[in-house]
Structure formats: C-alpha cells, structure tokens
Amino acid sequence: MEGYGIIMQIILGGVAGWLAEKVMGFNTGLIMNIILGIVGAVVGNFLLGLVGVGLGGLLGQLIVAVLGACVLILVYRAIKGRA
C-alpha cells in the first residue's frame, strides 16, 4: 500500500481484513482485521511480485490485501491444526 497515507492504509486494511474474514469464515475483531489487512497487503504484494504481477490503484490494492489476508488465514489454520 505504498503511496497511501496512514489513515488510508488503516481504512483499506480494515476493509480488506473484514472481507477476508467473511470469505474465509474467520472470526476476528476490528483491530485484528486492520492488522490482517495491512500485513495481508504486504504478503499479497510480495507473492504477486514473485510471479511478476502488480495491481495498481486503490481497488487493485484492496484485492491484493484481501488475497494476502486469506493466505495468512490459511497459514494460521495450517499451523493451528498441527498443534
């Protein structure tokens, strides 16, 4: 989410985290949704960068953040399932 102010990153992260929560059937609170969305954006941009894909703009970054947050939820469930 480069190029966006901190307030926009928090809002976009919250929306992305909430969407990922609904898609994956995961139950978290507002703060965790924001963290999940922001970290998901970093993970999503990294993973898409590995394959040479980049999505720009606000909507593109929202999609990337949701995909990254879904990956984080999958990883969390995989680790939690083993313990």
Q: Do residues 18 and 43 lie in contact, with contact meaning Cβ atoms separated by under 8 Å?
A: no
| Token pair listed for 40 | 């998901």
51 backbone φψ class: left, alpha, beta (φ>0; ψ -120 to 50): alpha
pLDDT along the chain (83 residues), means of 10: 75 92 89 90 88 84 91 91 68
Map tokens 């989410």 to a residue: 1
pTM of the model: 0.85
pLDDT tens digits, one per residue of 27-46: 888 898 889 989 998 898 88
